[in-house]
Chains A and B, each alone.
Chain A
Amino acid sequence: MTGFPATLPRPRLWLRRRFPLLARIAERLLLSILLLLTVSVLIFAGVEALPGDFATTYLGQSATPQAVANIRAEFGLDQPVTSRYFEWLGNALQGDFGSSWASGNSVSEQIGNRLGNSLFLAAVSALIAVPLAVGLGVVAVRFRDRLPDRLINILSLAAISLPEFFVGYLLIMFFVVKTSAAAFPATVYDSMSLIERLQVIALPVATLVLVVLAHMIRMTRAAILGVMSSAYMETAELKGLGALRSITHHAAPNALAPIINVVALNLAYLIVGVVVVEVVFVYPGMGQYMVDAVTVRDLPVVQACGLIFAAIYILLNMTADILAIIANPRLRHPR
């Protein structure tokens, strides 16, 4: 026999067989880091590839070649791309995103404040949307193919079909312009109390909830229906178990993983949806900060915001993956 490799256990395979849970979680972590690095390259390259030049925009009419060169030297734009990338990445890893070209302030400081605002908006939306979506999903399953299910289906389809900025303007029209039941703009200040903040952000939260709710309901419904149609649910019924016991004891543990996945994916979407909604409602969060920076070509700010959005998105997805892995009994209890 010529050169047929003996079954030498490769390290990864060995790890997978011996500690499937840990190996898979470690894999996800590594993949996420790799993904984040790739994204950082893409963001940097994307910003780099933008047409036009900050120096020319900044100087406007007075852009003499000498003035442009001065500005470029001041911001280090005369350095080669790769060395600028690694410098930027190295600083970013230490939490330093440089200073804004437009205002000269530290980007990290600015972001610290606004990220808190954005996360607050997203968290309030999630606190309302997740229980509501799972609850309505269960209702849809309970009354499958009957009126409540159809109603939920049609309304969620309608909500999915409308872009978030449109939903936002509709809400403003009804609740601010016509009835003045809610506040606009949704600007918050440091001096505001929690209650005041909640009052102010009612409309942006409503918009975000409407946008993510539909998707979560539909996925929850599909996940539960998938579990309900499996053979072990029939076994439960043929054991003479009641509906409640069947659902809590036999369906729920298996429906958990897909539902966690749906929720985490939608939370990630929430973070991205924030950008548009913040602009519509003039809310001082990351999204608005980023959009403002784009209009004046404030590249350090755009890059920093892009990287942070990407990091949150990847983190949430990774969490979803890891939770789903932990929820899988096959991996928790290897052979």
Chain B
Amino acid sequence: MGKLLSVRDLKIEATSYPPGEPPRRISIVNGVSFDLEKGRVLGLIGESGAGKSTIGLAALAYGRGGVEITGGEVTLDGTDILKLGKSGIRGLRGRRICYVAQSAAAAFNPAHRLGDQVIEATLRHGLLSRDAARKRALDLFRMLGLPDPESFGRRYPHQVSGGQLQRAMTAMALCPKPDLIVFDEPTTALDVTTQIDVLAAIKHAIEETGTAALYITHDLAVVAQISDEIMVLRHGDMVEHGPVRQIIEQPVQDYTKALVNMRSIRHDEAPDQSGALLRMENISASYGDGVPVLHDISLHVPRGQTLAIVGESGSGKSTLARVATGLLPPSAGRIEFGGQVLPPARKARSRDDLRRLQLIYQMADTAMNPRQTVREIIGRPLTFYEGLRGSARVARVKELLDQIEMGSGFIDRYPAELSGGQKQRVAIARALAAKPELIICDEPTSALDPLVADGILKLLLRLQEEQGLSYIFITHDIAIVRAIADSVAVMHGGRLVRFGPKSRALAPPFDDYTDLLLKSVPELEIGWLERILATRRRESAGH
């Protein structure tokens, strides 16, 4: 097998424009080198800002936004593509190197049919006749397991699901029979049960067509299923590069070891005997259009414990949180808090009712006023609920900053001057300022990098132990549920499919949906995908 792609000492920079300061050059990739042989798959893994997407796009001689390739070589079959002119690069893109974007929903043009977009590059580069290209697209739709392949190409992007779009994007990349495909987090935006199908389709297509690939992701378990080799990146530097087995089983670098040993948190389930703090009975709810989103849901949160609500997007888990907080009054059912019936609408609740139940959002960014300092963000609920002002308020803000392990040095920072993890910590402090009994955490870690997310989870567990807090933890990540929950509620299509203590809810016998959900979560184990698919085939053959 010959060398296909060779990257030597790649340096990439961008210009940043901090407000009120002169523009600055920042380095995004600092001299990364690797080789890729024909037909092999290299996984690029790292946290956000590690430079993995930037490297992937550099293989197409492309810099997104103000990004500039400032040094090094990217050689494809002996030609340095960075030295090619505009038309030379155009001749490579969409012909020898193709790209699969993270959000296929945005990457497809809403105004054209999927089939036309899939064959466009092939036609434009004159690789096949229109009929032959249509035929190839049809074969690819079949290979990728798309429903109704004959008519699939006539649909518009908005007419198919997210998982199907991602597969269609893969078909679009495969259509010109390229030598190399860059997959940029192709399954990150999908639900786990969808992700497994797309992953299987991509793996199958790579094997069938023999294309080489760069597979970019932040999920080590995913990349372990697809790649031959893994390269770990951090802050634009290569940390470790080796065969999949070596990286997973014998990592050398500390950072890689931390990635592999993630989810080191363990929290043993407490017995449910402390009585329910929050109890929701027969809750149904709908938004303005009268279409019900929640159907007859009954569950409770024991005092001082954590209820994890898991489900895919659209399962109604965030809607349930909105009902609990009174933002969306239910159309039927009742809510009890500490033994008292809670008014359904937020406006009918007393200030003390509001104080006892606080909320932490997924996007700490958008949940904070960018023009307020940490002092004001955390201080506001102190004034609102307790009437604290002046030095008493400052003292309490500092105390809260200590509790979230940030220290009083951050008190005059603006949200823009904080990292993602720090912002989420400030959001936690803001919730704590109200001295709540229950905090609803709506996917507070899903936008964070794994190691940072771990720190947030540890903080939440420590606070629970010290202050006897109860949590409703909304997530789609089973690993987090296993790590922190006492009881578990599984939601699907607006219904509660399963509810009980963790040990019972996550143990067989399973209902069909929970079984599918649990089995779809990628495990950090080579051959996991094949094993699951084989089990599925056996099961469907047995039926």
Identify the A interface with B (CB < 8 A). Answer: 1-5, 7, 10, 13, 230-232, 234-242, 245, 249-250, 253-254, 329-330, 333, 335
Contacts and interface: CB of A to CB of B under 8 A. Distances in A.
- Most B CB contacts (10 A, CB to CB) among A4, A240, A241, A242 go to A240
A7 B332 CA distance: 14
B158 A330 contact: yes
Interface in B430-459: none
Contacts of B108: 232, 235
Contacts of A245: 124
A27 to B, nearest CB: 15
B110 A239 contact: no
A196 to B, nearest CB: 46
Contacts of B331: 4-5
Contacts of B99: 235, 238
B373 interface: no
A234 B107 contact: yes
A333 B110 CA distance: 11
Given A1-B282, A330-B110, 5 more contacts: A234-B101, A240-B92, A240-B125, A241-B90, A245-B124
A232 B449 CA distance: 27
B70 interface: no
Interface string B184-213: 000000000000000000000000000000
Contacts of A231: 101, 103, 106-107
Most buried by B among A1, A230, A235: A235
B9 interface: no
A5 B290 contact: yes
Given A240-B94, A241-B121, A333 B156 contact: yes
B94 A335 contact: no
Q: For B94, B95, B108, B296, which residue has the most chain A Cβ atoms within 10 angstroms?
A: B94
A241 B124 contact: yes
B120 A241 contact: yes
A1 B282 CA distance: 8
Contacts of B64: 234
Contact of B60 (A238, A250, A254): A238
12 contacts: A1-B284, A4-B331, A4-B332, A5-B331, A235-B99, A236-B109, A240-B89, A241-B94, A242-B90, A250-B111, A253-B111, A333-B156
A226 to B, nearest CB: 13
Nearest to B159: A335
A7 B94 contact: no
A245 B93 CA distance: 15
B319 to A, nearest CB: 15
A296 B110 CA distance: 56
B284 A13 contact: no
Nearest to A229: B65
Contacts of B107: 231-232, 234-235
A329 B159 CA distance: 10
B414 interface: no
A254 B90 contact: no
Interface in B156-179: 156, 158-159
**Among the interface residues A1, A2, A3, A245, which one has the most CB atoms of the partner chain B within 10 A?**
A1
B541 interface: no
B275 interface: no
B91 interface: yes
Contacts of A253: 109, 111-112
Contact of B110 (A241, A242, A254): A254
Most buried by B among A4, A230, A333: A4
A230 B282 CA distance: 44
Query: Shortest 8 CB-CB distances between A and B: which pairs?
Result: A239-B94, A240-B93, A231-B106, A240-B94, A253-B111, A239-B121, A232-B109, A240-B90
Contacts of B124: 239-241, 245
Contacts of A237: 62, 93
Contacts of A250: 109, 111-112
B289 interface: yes
B291 interface: yes
B184 to A, nearest CB: 10
B179 to A, nearest CB: 14
B49 interface: no
A77 B94 CA distance: 76
B344 to A, nearest CB: 14
B93 A333 contact: no
Interface string B17-47: 0000000000000000000000000000000
A235 B109 CA distance: 9
A252 to B, nearest CB: 9
A2 B111 CA distance: 46
Contacts of B339: none
Given A241-B121, A241-B124, A13 B156 contact: no
A240 B95 contact: yes
A66 B109 CA distance: 75
A170 B90 CA distance: 51
B156 A329 contact: yes
A108 to B, nearest CB: 45
Central interface residue in B103, B111, B120, by most chain A CB within 10 Å:
B111
B121 A329 contact: no
Given A232-B108, A235-B107, A241-B94, A1 B332 contact: yes
B292 interface: yes
Contacts of B289: 13
A254 B111 contact: yes
B94 A2 contact: no
Contact of A238 (B62, B91, B292): B62
Contacts of B90: 240-242
Contacts of A7: 290-292
B121 A230 contact: no
Nearest to A241: B124
A231 B64 CA distance: 11
A316 to B, nearest CB: 25
Contacts of B103: 231
A15 to B, nearest CB: 13
B163 to A, nearest CB: 16
A43 to B, nearest CB: 34
Given A1-B296, A1-B332, A235 B101 contact: yes
B290 A240 contact: no
A240 B284 contact: no
B332 A2 contact: yes
B53 to A, nearest CB: 12
A240 B98 CA distance: 9
Nearest to B87: A242
Contacts of A235: 99, 101, 107-109
